[in-house]
Amino acid sequence: MPIHWLQHADFEDLGCIGPWLAERGHAVSGTRLYAGEALPDPADFEALIVMGGPMNIYEYAAHPWLRTEKALIRAAIDAGRRVLGICLGAQLIADVLGGPVRRNGEPEIGWFPVELNAAGLAEPAFAGLPPRFTAFHWHGDTYALPPGARGLAHSEACAQQAFSWGDGRVLGLQFHLEVTRDNAEEWLRHETLQPSRHVQTADAILADTDAFAANNAAMRAILERFLPAA
């Protein structure tokens, strides 16, 4: 399957998603938006993955490509493509579907539990996930649920942690199941954390290698259900 992905910063990549796509034989292409690369036509891919990034979806002056990126996401959805958004990606999808994005009540960075609601437990892409699991988070913004979308999960700090839209071919994840320990180390080199109720220290984030492995396993399980075989 031809799959295209959108990258917002040079230090934020696909994480464990990249090896999974290669193992499944998908034809993968990407756009480095921060480098000014041109966006594709939705006819060129069957699925779109919109990754995270340190910017906010409304920072048009600093990142003018956000407008054309949103247009591509909207066009991909309208063309019937499968679209997966993670963190910033989920917020961009929510925005183009009519769910406003705003600052969350507090930032959420580190390992915190996520709880699936009834819709989340029934979501095909989440089949096999436990009702409550610990996920890696790194966000300061949140979104309102878009019209027609199904809210799937929440955490103590954030009411909207995942949503699906339409027939389930559009999926947004606010949390980061794709992040490996190497990814987290790289992110921490680009930001100094200010620990608070829902912001952990760098040492706490990196301490549990098994947590990264469990998250990555959950990400792969979701991909197996969300993206058909190549």
Active site residues: 87, 176, 178
Give the alpha-carbon dihedral of 132, 56, 9, 86, to 10 degrees.
30
- Closest by CA position to 53, among listed 31, 71, 72, 38: 31
Tokens linked to 54: 């340190």
Strands 47-50 and 27-32: unpaired
Instruction: List the 82-86 sheet strands across, edge first.
Output: 27-32, 2-7, 47-50, 82-86, 170-173, 162-165, 149-154, 101-116, 132-143
Q: How far is CA 62 from CA 31, 54, 66, 103, 157, in A?
A: 18, 12, 9, 18, 28
Give the alpha-carbon dihedral of 200, 181, 227, 169, to 10 degrees.
20
Distance CA 113, CA 70 (A): 30
Tokens linked to 37: 């690369």
